[in-house]
Chain A
Amino acid sequence: MTLSLRNVGWGIRGNAIVHDASLDFEAGQLTALIGPNGAGKSTLLRLASGLLPATSGTVSLGGAPVATLSAPGLAASRAMLMQDSPLRAQFTLRELVAMGSHISAPFLSHATRMALAEALLERVGLAAFAGRDVMGLSGGERQRVHLARVLMQLESAVHDTDKAPGFLLLDEPISAQDLSRQHLVLNLARAHAQKGGGVVLVLHDLNWAAACADRIVVVHEGTIHAQGPPEQVLTNKLACHVFGLEEGRVRQHAVSGKPYILPHDMMCGSLS
């Protein structure tokens, strides 16, 4: 299955935030969207999810425009984690995760639904808090509960209908995570791709993007600036042009062969 954007544009009051973007996200692949603040990464992700209707061009999933898909069908074949959720209600973690599956897998039994929710909380490292109130969690924990809910939406549908796993769209999923949880979250994303699902991540850490992504898409000033495997995309020229870094910051890792970036000269011990 492919999630594809064809000449997609979106703007507000005459300001184009994204224009003429064409991209294909393939199932089984992990794609990282990178780019400076305000480049249009989140908007692109929202367009891909169908949350924002494109003002020009078309977004299609498996060949059918997302606007024509039924809401439950779309919910079963793509899920998205937003940067933050304005939840202000005292649901338990278990209830919140289970909520992800009510539309995408309506025929699950209560017991199966709860068992799936518990298993997902286990995988995001929050099983011990399953009966606690979401409002009492830290920012990083809350982000992982929502990740579990988003995974629940797709995996319950797979459980229910035995179809291929859908597309997982994650907007800065590791922004609030410590180093070991960054590993955990990216491993979950990787596992989803290995099971045949598609994964699209917005990441700010270029080293993580280089290390975990099959493909990197660089978004710059509302357009697709470059795309391809990390080795081809993350070059000194790109770091200079898009991120404003000095020459020579991008090196090649001695072991993995992947590019890595030193954002400033660590040797001098100063940020200037």
Chain B
Amino acid sequence: MSLARRRAVLFLCALCPVLIVAVGISLNVGATGVHLTALWHGGLHGGIEAGNSADRVVLTQIRGPRVVMAGLTGAALAVAGAVMQGLFRNPLADPGLIGVSSGAALATACVLVLGGAWLDLGAGGGHVALLSTAWAVPLAGMLGSFVAACVLYLFATRGGATSVSMILLAGVAFSAFSGALTGILIFRANDTALRDLTFWTMGSFAGATWPRIGLLCPFLLVAGWVTACLASPLNALLLGESDARLMGYPVERIKRLAMFAVACAVGPAVSFVGAIGFVGVVVPHLVRLVTGPDHRLVLPGSALLGAILLIAADTLARVIAMPADVPVGIVTAVLGTPVFVWLLTRVHDRERLA
């Protein structure tokens, strides 16, 4: 094994304990002042006393799912970003390019602005509502993101061949159009819906619960499995589609699977926690600085680092303005934007030298 490769593998191994520490710290801090030791004492004393059990609820039902959700979302966004950057052969590509984020945003706006009426009507009329808002929003978001990805795929596919640059252009157009439709909905929205929607676009893990994580997991498992199969083909795709095809790679199937994996990873995650920017762009690039371009290292590295960073960002979001809970999207954008600009200048410098 070469020196560079050994360093890359070492880096991946080092990320695992960092992740465990991040989870520990994140569980340990929060507005209620409960510490991890409570769980320990609770365990020792049977956990029946009222004080202890309240502390345990904080840890297992509030912070626990929140940390897990942050970790899963971070991993999903970062891996999806790495896949997109490989697919577009552009280090600045982002999972939002295939319309999943804007599709989810539009669907969420629809439910919050238009759907509120019939959801409330159902509950107010003495009937059990078909879906509570807590579930209707993420389910609509998922539907929206999958529809968006399918529409873009169909747009960009002619005669069995998908044009990557068409996905890019149609993605920009689709984002603008769904942004406009969302704007119309915002214009019609009442104050509550407006507030909900605004907070959705900033992203938060405050609504994380175990059942939601349970719904998210199957999607992430499928996405993770497909992505693992794509690592080596994505390497070949970096040589260009023609060379990859000449080497025997099924290029059209790779593009289809990559879009499917990204939609599966990002759509559900974004639907549950809202739009969280920059993780998808920045994390794979940071990983690539250490591991080089090989996707067999970039993909697992992105999953680990994405989870770590989003758990850290969520911890920060909880503690900067205690007891208030700052939307995590603000934290990632405030921290991510300078890094993004630095990456842009770095890429620019390299292209000028090349």
Contact = CB atoms under 8 A, between A and B. Distances in A.
> What class of interface size applies to chain B in its complex with A?
20 to 34
Contacts of A179: none
B2 A92 contact: yes
Interface string B239-253: 110110111111000
A42 B266 CA distance: 41
Interface string B87-126: 0010000000000000000000000000000000000000
A99 B235 contact: yes
A96 B249 CA distance: 15
A211 interface: no
Interface in B214-272: 232, 235-236, 238-240, 242-243, 245-250
B293 A89 contact: yes
B354 interface: yes
B248 A91 contact: no
B236 A87 contact: no
Contact of A75 (B235, B246, B293, B354): B246
Contacts of A82: 242-243, 246
Contacts of A96: 239
A103 B248 contact: yes
A51 B242 contact: yes
- Range for the number of chain A residues in contact with chain B: 20 to 34
Contact of B246 (A79, A87, A91, A92): A79
Q: Which of A74, A90, A91, A99 has the most CB of B within 10 A?
A: A99
Contact of B247 (A91, A92, A153): A153
Interface string A96-135: 1001101110000000000000000000000000010001
A89 B2 CA distance: 18
B169 interface: no
B238 A87 contact: yes
Contacts of B183: none
A91 B293 CA distance: 6
Contacts of A87: 238-240, 243
A80 B240 CA distance: 13
A104 B247 CA distance: 7
6 contacts: A71-B249, A72-B248, A82-B246, A87-B239, A91-B238, A99-B239
Interface of A: 49, 51, 71-72, 74-76, 79-80, 82, 85-92, 94-96, 99-100, 102-104, 131, 135, 153
Given A86-B239, A100-B247, 6 more contacts: A51-B245, A87-B238, A92-B292, A103-B249, A104-B248, A131-B2
